[in-house]
Amino acid sequence: MKLTRSQYQDQVRRAIAFLPADQAFCLDIKARHFLRFCTAAGRLPSAMDVLDFGCGHGLMHPFLAPQVGRLTGLDVSPEALASARAANPACRYVLAGDSGLPFPDAAFDGALAVCVLHHVQPADRNAVLRDLCRVLKPGAPLVIFEHNPLHPLTRWAVSRCPFDKDARLLLPRTLAGALRQAGFDTVQVRHILFLPLGRRLTLLIDRLLGRLPAGAQYAAIGFACSGPQTR
């Protein structure tokens, strides 16, 4: 489904209209969590070359780009990339091809994927994750944000969103296992967005309760192994 930036934002707005937080709030929280996970792993975000896999219209990039060394967005939609490029001229945007990620081995210091994996066919998921491992430097973090299928309001929101009609929500343990199978080490899962009560309070609650599978979304964090992965 090809959507303009405004159409995409409108569909998300309608799907989560019952929540006391908007999409920008949720994206900001996830950007802050990504930076926190990187810092906790001993990385300096301002020195990192980061890949956003499946970046879409780049709606998270105003929150993330000023905090990292360089941000590259990758997507299959040239229309979405044109929108992202116009809104975030300081970022680099690359069109995805049909034969794997168009980057050399060990090209990035970190990567993230925000609510993308549930659109990837299960048969293709391992190849995608192995390719992400390939383009990361040894020990670099990959943070995958996904909807929590155990959260009833999350499932309801997804069911209300037209572009999520093909979504196959992943259980945290399923995604963690897929990361390990693809060659990632020290895989962790942290649940987020328990209560959208303001940025500082939300982040504090997420940190305190992150091990409980009750957040609206979760982050699966893996670290690239010591050698490049073949697809």
Give me the residue label for tokens 């300081």. 90
Which pLDDT belongs to residue 15? 67
Which pLDDT belongs to residue 167? 85
Please report which confidence band the pLDDT of residue 228 belongs to, taking 50, 70 and 90 as the band edges: very low
Element (H, E) at 171: none
pLDDT, mean over the chain: 91
**8 A C-beta contact, residue 40 and residue 155:** no
More confident residue, 142 or 16: 142
38-41 contacts at long range (C-beta below 8 A, 24 or more positions apart): 38/110, 38/141, 38/143, 41/141, 41/223
Give this prediction's pTM: 0.92
d(CA 180, CA 205): 28
Which pLDDT belongs to residue 17? 66
- Helix H, strand E, coil C: the string for 13-50 is HHHCCCCCCCHHHHHHHHHHHHHHHHHHCCCCHHHCEE
Please report which confidence band the pLDDT of residue 87 belongs to, taking 50, 70 and 90 as the band edges: very high
Q: Which of 202, 216, 210, 132 is nearest to 169 (CA)?
A: 216
Q: What is the DSSP string of 136-162?
A: BPTT-EEEEEEE-TT-HHHHHHHHT-G
**8 A C-beta contact, residue 187 and residue 179:** yes
More confident residue, 197 or 171: 171
Which pLDDT belongs to residue 230? 42
For 34-79, the pLDDT digits (tens) are: 999 999 999 999 999 999 999 999 999 999 999 999 999 999 999 9
For 188-226, the pLDDT digits (tens) are: 999 999 988 888 999 999 999 999 999 999 999 999 986
Which pLDDT belongs to residue 82? 96
What are the CA-CA distances from residue 191 to residues 44, 212, 215, 221 (Å)?
23, 7, 5, 11
Q: Which of 160, 138, 162 is nearest to 224 (CA)?
A: 138
Show the domains of the chain with their CATH numbers: 5-224 (3.40.50.150)
Residue 231 pLDDT > 90, yes or no? no
